[in-house]
Amino acid sequence: MTPILQTAIELIVAAGLVGGGFFALVGSWGLIRLPRPMQRLHAPTKATTIGVGAALLASSIGSLPVTGTVSIQEWLITLFLLLTAPISALFLAKTLILRGEADPDLPDPGTGTPWATLGQERPDP
């Protein structure tokens, strides 16, 4: 591996780390800063997708000069995080609606029935 290529890889990894750190900070700051509960669901997704994503990308490329291959495990973590983020967001939004903590001007679902989270029969726990 030529030195110039090594420097280029190091620069890419450093850029990924700096960007990832910045966005992780933005995600946690938005959690405090945003005024409404449904908006606060949105802030940590930046930390998930860009923050951790950039760090994992940097780790994956950073292993290239050491081992000679791009490691695959980071991509699995990124894939898993991207797959599970919408599911947990859906559950959190349902919790907000059920507990009445969502915005008061929640739009109508458009099916003629109330929101499914509120309308269904709840079993005795």
CB count, 10 Å around CB of 53? 20
Please list, residue by residue across 61-85, b when 16 or more beta carbons sit within 10 angstroms of its beta carbon and e when fewer do: bbbbeeeeeebeebeeebeeeeeee
Identify which of residues 80 and 113 has a Cβ nearer to other proteins in the complex.
Answer: 80
CA–CA dist 52, 80 (Å, integer): 12
Task: Give the 3-state secondary structure of residue 70.
Answer: coil
Rounded to whole angstroms, the Cα distance separating 5 from 2 reads: 5
20-49: contacts with other proteins (CB under 8 A): 20-22, 24-25, 27-29, 31-32, 37, 40-41, 44, 47-48
Applying CB under 8 A, what is the total number of residues that bind other proteins?
55
Which residues in 63-122 contact other proteins (CB under 8 A)? 63, 66, 71, 73-74, 76-77, 80-81, 84, 87-88, 91-92, 94-96, 98-99, 101, 117, 122
Burial class (CB in 10 A: 0-12, 13-18, 19+), 100: exposed
Q: List contacts with other proteins (CB under 8 A).
A: 10-11, 13-15, 17-18, 20-22, 24-25, 27-29, 31-32, 37, 40-41, 44, 47-48, 51-52, 55-56, 58-59, 62-63, 66, 71, 73-74, 76-77, 80-81, 84, 87-88, 91-92, 94-96, 98-99, 101, 117, 122-125
